Structure 1
Amino acid sequence: MRIRHYWKLLAACVVFVVVCAVVFSTVRVTPLVTSSSDTSADQVTQNIVGTTDLFDATVAHRITLTFRDEDYQRLLDDFWQDDEKSFLEADLTIDGTRIPSVGIRLKGNSTLGGLTRNGEARQRGFGRDRAPGGGQQPQPGGGDGFPGGGFPEGAPEGAPGGAQPGGARGGAGPGGFGRASLKAEEPENLPWLIRFDEFVEGRRYQGHREVAVRVAGMGGGSTVLNEAVSLHVLATAGETAQRYAYSSFTVNGRPTTARLVVEHPDEGFADTLGGNGVLYKSLATGQFTDQGDDPTSYADDFKQITMKGSQDLQPVINLVRWVNTSSDADFAAHLGDHVDVPALARYLAVQNLLLNFDDMAGPGRNYYLWYDLGTKKFTVVGWDYNLTLSGAATQGPHDTGRMGGRFPQAGGAPPGGFQPPEGMHLPEGMQLPEGMQPPAGMPGPDGDAADGRERPGGLGGNKLKERFLASAAFKPVYENAYRDLYQKIYADGTALNAVGSITEVLSTVDGYDAQKTAADVEQLKTLVQQRTSHLATDSVITSG
């Protein structure tokens, strides 16, 4: 067959391809969901039963990981050079049950800010342009700051590293916002996400697709005891919480450490929420602002966890738009059409009670949204409690918790000389001292940076939370929830008793450090006792 016989057809094909490339190369492609069914596309083909319930928190567990060093170095290369948290293949043994070829990756954002490799910090992200060790500056309390380094001199009372009201102090203990240094050469101390089906499709372990191995030193000292206590009291109070357990953790035959293992909010966790719905994860880069109709514009805001292919992001887009554009009267009258209001009140009350500044409005945007397909309403689901019980014991029900303590309320100013770190987002209404300018690129309360550029994110803010707490219409439901949860968490001794019972289990885990744990326990007990006593006299509690 000679080409010259068909040269016209070939030429036409070439012209067509060129035209398509020119005309359609700038056209935005929007993902569409062609089905609105309520079924999940995930198929479970193997569920490993194991020998012991992984999240039986009353017993000590044992986890062992082995992987090739060259794979680990590749993982570190990806993170160092491209900010990518790639998976490596590892063999896992849990409580005697061997599970080959699981996927593991580094987990966290600010958590990894102090990670070093061969003594050098990563020159990007939270560690950018900082000295080895994440540029952590010495603090009066011996702790580390955020992000990637300590607060400068002149930080306000209640900021990390300094003395705090109510007896809590800075540093790596429960009373402060500290972070231990992390070394790539010590993988047994790093934060990990374990995924059972990364290399074996359809596999689960006791119904779980993923579990998280939490890192020590952020807000809970060497034990992350504050997170374990918080998860315990949440479950006891009947609130949604991930399950947890303490386990020995050994990597490639290195020294064994005692680590907190937490259920990761995946498809299996979604099944425990009741009803039929879709789970969405808020990302640390999220803004919760109206960005138009295109779902791809929200790629940095939310990630759909369940029912991919049968449901989409449209309900979240509708919620964000309504919260941002509705009048105050409309918000008060119709919030209940969009959100489970009593559940939202309880979620916000819990975050305040547990002194968790890093909630849905914190720098990590640590929350999920559960959309019930039956009621067509959203519920906020809490996640990542490793910075709870690390603020001021005197924080009141209507105070705004920030970075280890309280900032002044609207119109207030921090003490003179306080210089906020680059990238910090001022709480709404907070003013800098006269003559002091924010660092370049730092967004103020309106979200605009000092150089005039809009910077998404910053260190906090969520329009849904802010509008709810500012509305007089929802003040009674919030205060009622606060009183009820105070009784269930503090007044009846649940939190204080949890410190003791959890510590007893922890003391039986291989790799347990008795001396460090004793210090963490003492700080946490003191904070819980002081918070219990202080809130007992608060008008919100006594008015009930």
Structure 2
Amino acid sequence: MLPRRIAHRIPVRVRHYWKLLATCAATLLAFAVVFSTVRVAPLVTSASDADGDEVSVNIAGTTDLFDATTAHKIKITYRSDAYEELLDSFWKDGEKEYLEADLTVDGTTVPSVGIRLKGNSTLQGITRDGEARPGGFGGGRGAVPQGAMPEGGPPDGGGFRRGGGGGRTSLKTEEPENLPWLIRFDEFVEGRRYQGHREIAVRVGGMGGGAAVLNEAVSLHVLAAAGEVTQRYAYTSFTVNDRPTTARLIVEHPDENFAGAIGGDGVLYKSMASSQFTDQGDDPTEYADDFKQITKKGSRDLQPVIDLIKWVTGASDAEFDEHLGEHVDVASLARYAAVQNLLVNFDDMAGPGRNYYLWYDLAAKRFSVVGWDYNLTLSGSATQDPAEPVSMGGGMRGGGGDVPPPEDTRLPEGAGPMPAGGGGRGGFLSGHRLKERFLASAAYRDDYRKAYKELFNRIYGNASALNAVDAITAVIGTVDGADAAATATEAENLRTLIRERTRFLVTNEIVTG
């Protein structure tokens, strides 16, 4: 019994019903003990087709942001102390936090947008006051920044050609006008879009190509011309505070607006750089480092992706050959695989960046692979075999086997395990079970060859790629901050690679039939 003086301090109703309250408390405690080790899986309670995010304002602007035939203007203004705080967070914890900034695009001012650093391996070589970030490459011995290529190019005989005049590029925090950025319109103003876009990416130069990233722009151009699902792009002058103006490539970032352009009703999922495409059980939280759901959050979930992974990794060869079409749009997958080879892109869904999206068609209940991040295209070997996987540097093997990584090489965060023996079949880091099994299957060889021949004619056979170089170079010449001499060199290198690739492929038996 409590002392009387203490008992009288307890409210009368509590004293009257203390036995009932004690019973409830005991029951809750028992539930906590019994169920504390039971996994609770998130459930979707709605079958609605609506996306979770509502658009409250859509800024029209004055010019189509992704009109690639005209020069655009972007100016970003932010507080210097806020920028330093952003860098502090990235340096200490690797977190890419959003910085509040005012944006002016083609004369239209958009206050309080969010901008953050973008990229994984891209940012490994970044320096601050001349010092590398802990865990980053920072220009040290054996470093592989940007395009994952040692300084001076690959070993002799590697067959690597810098289609855009690429190579090592130094990123400095003191030069924000040269850094890779993601601009988000609704980070600080809920429900806001610009011409339907939630996010746009400001691409960085010096990866597979040169400062103008001409190789990526040409790839996006020819893919769109060939009727493939791809992102829109444009060139813009880019000014940060009172820093010098530079010419930058901006690319449509796959979001709900991009998903609408794919056509049909479906769900878009993004592969993360750390994705391994391996069966990790039924708990959706175990796949948080593998895939991010982009659309229909709250009405759909990750279960279709989990089911696909389980099937691809668990099906026998006979089952794979017979039932792949029930899970994946085979014609779409054939075109995707053909495009990556044609454009000599080693950093696709099977590359270290795991650069791809999955589109799940709700009507057909099948997946398609959507390409993304083409800044390492058209920078490898012009003699890349259509029947062989593209390796490090876009075909660095050059007939002499895989090129091992340089001594003391440090790999990008989240890039996956190093294959045994260092190089592996695809160079540094590569592999994706869906793509590998598809290309290895005799049942789908004709699908791949048919797609390859058709896309060769649309990309190289009709001179589309060469013409794109000329057209895009002309636009870049009108952009404030463009380096005319560097762009001209980049364009000529790219033309040379395209001509050599065309000559090599035009006699290949897959193309000749």
TM-score if structure 2 supplies the norm length? Answer: 0.90
Give deviations 1:226-248, integer Å, cap 9, x for gaps.
Answer: 00000000000000110000000
State the match for 1:169 in structure 2.
161
Deviations 1:473-502 (A, max 9, x none): 111110111011101100110001110110
Query: Aligned-residue CA RMSD in angstroms?
Result: 2.7
2:339 corresponds in structure 1 to: 350
CA distance in 1, matches of 2:85, 2:122: 20
Pair 362,255 (structure 1): closer, same or farther in 2 beyond 3 Å:
same
Q: Deviations over 1:51-76 (max 9, x none)?
A: 00000000000000001111111111
For 1:28 and 1:147, the matched residues in 2 are separated by 40
Shift of 1:422: 5.2
Cα pair 1:136 1:149 within 8 Å, conserved: no
Question: Contact conserved, 1:277 with 1:372, CA < 8 A, in 2?
Answer: yes
Structure-2 residue corresponding to 1:431 = none
| SS of 1:258 mapped into structure 2 | strand
- 1:19-38 Cα deviation digits (max 9, x unpaired): 55544444333221111222
Unaligned runs of 5+ in 2: 1-7
Report the alpha carbon displacement of residue 339 of structure 1 after superposing the two structures with TM: 0.7
Which residue, out of 293, 301, 319, partners 1:330?
319
What 5-or-longer segments of structure 1 have no aligned partner? 138-143, 153-158, 426-440, 449-457
Match of 1:91 among 89, 95, 102: 102
> Once the 2 structures are TM-superposed, how far is the Cα of residue 41 of structure 1 from its aligned partner?
2.0
Matches of 1:417 and 1:371 in 2, distance apart? 36
- Write the distance in 1 (CA, Å) between the matches of 2:304 and 2:344: 30
1:279 aligns with 2:255: no
CA distance change for structure 1 residues 233 and 305 in 2, over 3 Å: closer, same or farther? same
| Partner deviation per Cα, 1:406-432 (whole Å, 9 max, x = no partner) | 36699x85479975845599xxxxxxx
Residue of structure 1 equivalent to 2:369 = 380
Q: 1:87 to 1:400 in 2, by over 3 A?
A: same
d(CA) in 2 for partners of 1:29, 1:395: 49
Counterpart contact for 1:233–1:498, Cα < 8 Å:
yes
Counterpart residue number, 1:523: 493
Instruction: Report the equivalent of 1:110.
Output: 121
Match of 1:79 among 79, 87, 90: 90
Q: Residues 468 and 474 of structure 1 are in contact (CA less than 8 Å); yes or no, is this contact kept in structure 2?
A: yes
Aligned equivalents of 1:24 and 1:118: distance in 2? 52
Question: Partners in 2 of 1:539 and 1:148 — Cα distance?
Answer: 31
Contact 2:158 2:396 (C-alpha < 8 Å) held by counterparts: no
Query: 1:258: which partner in 2?
Result: 247
1:542 Cα deviation from its structure 2 partner? 1.5
Match of 2:144 in 1: 145
In the alignment, residue 119 of structure 1 is paired with which amino acid?
A: G
CA contact (8 A) 1:111 1:179 kept: no
The equivalent residue for 2:187 is 198
Superposed displacement of residue 122, structure 1: 0.7
Determine whether 1:2 maps to 2:1.
Answer: no
Alignment of 1:92-491 (within 5 A): 92-124=103-135, 127=136, 130=137, 133-135=138-140, 137=142, 145-146=144-145, 151=150, 160-162=153-155, 168-169=160-161, 174=164, 178-406=167-395, 413-414=401-402, 421=409, 442-444=418-420, 459-491=429-461
Cross-structure match for 1:452: none
Matches of 1:147 and 1:16, distance apart in 2? 58
2:480 corresponds to: 510
Query: Which region of structure 1 is more displaced relative to structure 2, 517-526 or 352-361?
Result: 517-526
Task: Report the residue type matching 1:66 in the other structure.
Answer: T
Q: Equivalents in 2 of 1:204, 1:405: separation in Å?
A: 36
1:99 counterpart letter in structure 2: V
SS in 2 for 1:54: coil
> Per-residue deviation at 1:323?
0.5
SS in 1 for 2:368: strand
Paired residues in the alignment total: 496
Q: 1:407 to 1:228 in 2, by over 3 A?
A: closer
Provide, for residues 267-325 of structure 1, a one-character-per-residue CA deviation record: whole Å limited to 9, x for no partner.
00000010100000011111111111111111111000000010011111111111011
Contact map agreement 2:56 2:192 (CA 8 A) in 1: yes
Compared CA separation, residues 68 and 33, structure 1 to 2 (3 A)? same
> Which amino acid in structure 2 is aligned with residue 3 of structure 1?
I
Q: CA, structure 1 residues 405+160, in 2 after alignment: closer, same or farther (shift >3 Å)?
A: farther
Q: Secondary structure at the match of 1:57?
A: coil
263-272 or 414-423, which moves further after superposition?
Answer: 414-423
- Counterpart residue number, 1:63: 74
Distance in structure 2 (CA, Å) of the matches to 1:149 and 1:229: 21
- How far is the alpha carbon of 1:370 from its aligned partner? 0.5
- Go from structure 1 to structure 2 and tell me whether the alpha carbon gap of 1:150 and 1:401 turns closer, same or farther (over 3 Å shift): closer
- The answer to which of 88-97 and 37-46 deviates more is 37-46
The separation in 2 between residues aligned to 1:237 and 1:461, in whole angstroms, is 26
How far apart are the structure 2 equivalents of 1:417 and 1:357?
15
CA distance in 2, matches of 1:113, 1:417: 16
- The one-letter code sitting in structure 1 at the alignment partner of 2:105 is I
Distance 1:447 1:290, change over 3 A: farther
TM-score, scaled to structure 1: 0.85
Distance 1:356-1:71 versus aligned 2 partners, 3 A rule: same
Q: 1:423 to 1:216 in 2, by over 3 A?
A: closer
User: 2:101 corresponds to which letter in structure 1?
Assistant: A
Q: 1:27 to 1:59 in 2, by over 3 A?
A: same
Q: Secondary structure of the equivalent of 2:267? A: strand
CA contact (8 A) 2:125 2:145 kept: no
In structure 1, C-alpha distance between the alignment counterparts of 2:405 and 2:268, rounded to whole Å: 44
| 1:211 Cα deviation after fit | 0.4
Distance in structure 1 (CA, Å) of the matches to 2:184 and 2:406? 43
Letter in 1 for 2:44: V
Q: Which has the larger radius of gyration?
A: 2
